[in-house]
Structure 1
Amino acid sequence: MTYEGVVFTTPWPLRSNPHLEQARERAIDWMRAFGLLQGESAVDDFVAWRLAEVAGFFYPHADADDAATAAQMMGWYFLPFDDQLDGELGRDPRRVAAVCGALIDTVHGLPGGEHHPAPTVRAFADLWPRMTHGMSAALRTRVSYHWSAYFSSQLTEAIDRTDGRVHADLDAYFPLRAATTCAFGQNDLGEHWGGTEVAPAVWHDPVLHRMRRLGADLVALRNDSMSLRHEDVTGGHNAIHLIERTRDCPRREAMAYGSRLAQRKVDELVELEATDLRRLADALEPGQRDAVLGYAEIIHDWICGDYEWEGISARHHEHRVLPDWANDLLVGAES
């Protein structure tokens, strides 16, 4: 049995941020200050998981301060939060609702997160204002909605874990997966840190809607296929598991089907950009035309950056078990 993952090719370049080394060091220092990394082995894992690199791939145009904030966000996103919900906590919907409620309060500007008993919540209360500093009112509203949806989706997954709910097909699964990866919230940050904010009248256009959906689906297929060593043990929603079940096929065939599906999505995105996106851009004034074309590049960076990161990160090499020191990172978050 192999876990080489879903494979596909794209015509877009992989780009990285020039401030990577500094961002990594600042992220490590920040996480240590909040107790999110304890001991040298934890720092080694942060480096081996290439969390600064994935931030650099997603946000190649961010300046030095924003690149550091992005690396801190990626560090926070995984072990201090996401991995906590793979364990006992993630099978207790009431506790998850309290955890995510505290984080959503911070997203909406309510005070208290900085004094919360859980280190993960306190760290996010420090992180969020820097993530959103300088955003326009429209973008701030949008990113708050998408990050709230991300946190809310963790409750949906917790309920599904407890009652064994599965999805009927990939079309039913992908919208939830877009939320659980915070795909659109990450895209929003690409606008903020890339200088290509799309006006609200344009952002809601069906062409851009379809483009970001395709990007989220591609990241879901690649990530789910690469995380099987872990999720074969923990269970939960996974696109490859779903393909195996609904097509009644072995792992190798499920991977091949996932790869074909992913390539079709890439091809659709390329065609969409060559036709409908160009038509949309041509109808806009020059500033918004540039923003729309820049938005396509944000989605490319998301797809290509994730694809590369999944291949170089040590995060998926084996089933992950929380180290003892990490078990308390969300303790008190449900209080």
Structure 2
Amino acid sequence: MQFIILPKRLYCPFPSRINSHVLAADAHTVQWIRKFGLLRSEEQIHQYRKEGYAYMVARMFPNADRETLCAYSDLNTLLFLVDDFLDQKDAMVSGGHDSGSVEQFSKHFVAILENPAIAHNSKEPVFAALADLWERLMRLGTAGWLEKYKKSLWRIFHAALWQHKNIEAGRWPSVEDYMERRQYIGAANVATDCVEMIDRITLPSEVWEHPVLTELTELCRNTVCWANDLFSLSKEREKGEYHNLVTILAHEKKSSFTKAIAKTVAIHDQQVRRFIRLTAMLPSFDEAVDMEIVRYVEGLKAIMRANIDWSNHETSRYQFQYADYKVAAATAAVAVHV
């Protein structure tokens, strides 16, 4: 796999944090994977642990209690595994990975959210695991949050179906269309929606729908996705996948990958700066609501920072380097020979 060289570190001036229950969450999710047979061998489980999904979740939600962190670690892992397997012919569920199969899978997945009991004896490990997980989340979340979360999961499948239909038709999306849908392709909406449940944030609907909070949420989701498009570019190019901002920019603008990478970095950094400017314009209601808004914004910051820290330090999923690393390595090599 060819390393992608990123011209600079991504701008994200938020503190790095990690949940103290990270090791417990990792151990729990490995046992959960074994219980439902989500991976086929101990070798695959070893590879899963190298990819460090529990560390990603622990960084995203540094304040979560142990039970909640384990539940979201399971969910995050399940979504990664579903995404990986549906992108390959070696599908985790019967029937392959064409758009028809994705649509059928989506309907069954969402049906389980309405009635987990239908999947307890399922022959498909992913559905049995989902039923177990959703029953646990039903105990953790409010009825209102659960309904909102189901809609978020449905949006992920709509985006996946759009992507598969593009591939089948040999159709390239425009940069604008891709940027609009990317937060759902990457399930970033699921992560931000979980801040409410995991951090126990209570806000009236009119506050959640305030334009400033809506834009902050979207900026968080998008910057996570632009960073991920940079980090995952090498892996996706190797597989011939083109639903990536760098690849689509290079195609639409007829530019080099080097220029498209630089443009994607710039888009990421500009949107992080926009996020920071907006945090100085938070709406004010009463003291209790205002404190909850601040906690929500801190949760968004944690997600943005977590994605970068995890990709830099704790996962083997991506292959990339920064230009300053190459310079430092070359300088060190020269020093050794002097």
Q: Judge same fold: TM > 0.5, yes or no.
A: yes
Within the alignment, does 1:309 sit opposite 2:310 as a pair? yes
> What residue number does 1:101 align with?
107
> What residue number does 1:181 align with?
186
- Using the alignment, how far apart are the partners of 1:145 and 1:230 within structure 2? 30
- Using the alignment, how far apart are the partners of 2:5 and 2:51 within structure 1? 17
1:265 positional shift: 0.5
Structure 1 residues 65 and 91 mapped into 2: Cα distance closer, same or farther (>3 Å)? Answer: closer
Structure 2 counterpart of 1:292, which letter?
Answer: I
Structure 1 counterpart of 2:4, which letter?
Answer: Y
Map Cα deviations across residues 200-224 of structure 1 (whole Å, 9 max, x no partner).
1210111111111111111111111
Preserved CA contact (<8 Å) 1:104 1:151: no
- Using the alignment, how far apart are the partners of 2:169 and 2:194 within structure 1? 34
Matches within 5 A, 1:1-335: 2-5=3-6, 7-79=9-81, 81-88=82-89, 91-109=97-115, 111-169=117-175, 171-232=176-237, 233-275=239-281, 277=282, 280=283, 282=284, 284-312=285-313, 313-317=315-319
1:314 positional shift: 0.3
Structure 2 counterpart of 1:61, which letter?
Answer: N
- Using the alignment, how far apart are the partners of 1:253 and 1:57 within structure 2? 31
Name stretches of at least 5 consecutive residues in structure 1 with no aligned partner: 319-335
Structure 1 counterpart of 2:197, which letter?
Answer: H
* Residue correspondences, number: 311
Task: Kindly name which structure, 1 or 2, has the bigger radius of gyration based on alpha carbons.
Answer: 2
Preserved CA contact (<8 Å) 2:116 2:134: no
Q: Bigger CA drift: 103-112 or 239-248?
A: 103-112
- Normalising by structure 1, report the TM-score: 0.87
- Using the alignment, how far apart are the partners of 2:129 and 2:27 within structure 1? 17
Q: CA RMSD in A?
A: 1.9
Preserved CA contact (<8 Å) 2:188 2:225: no
Preserved CA contact (<8 Å) 1:28 1:37: no
Percent of aligned pairs with the same amino acid: 22
Preserved CA contact (<8 Å) 1:4 1:226: no
- Using the alignment, how far apart are the partners of 1:152 and 1:298 within structure 2? 26
Structure 1 counterpart of 2:150, which letter?
Answer: S
- Using the alignment, how far apart are the partners of 1:178 and 1:273 within structure 2? 21
1:163 positional shift: 0.6
Name stretches of at least 5 consecutive residues in structure 2 with no aligned partner: 321-338
Structure 2 counterpart of 1:125, which letter?
Answer: A
- Using the alignment, how far apart are the partners of 1:263 and 1:52 within structure 2? 26
1:20 positional shift: 0.6
- Normalising by structure 2, report the TM-score: 0.87
Map Cα deviations across residues 219-259 of structure 1 (whole Å, 9 max, x no partner).
11111111122211231411110111122221211111111
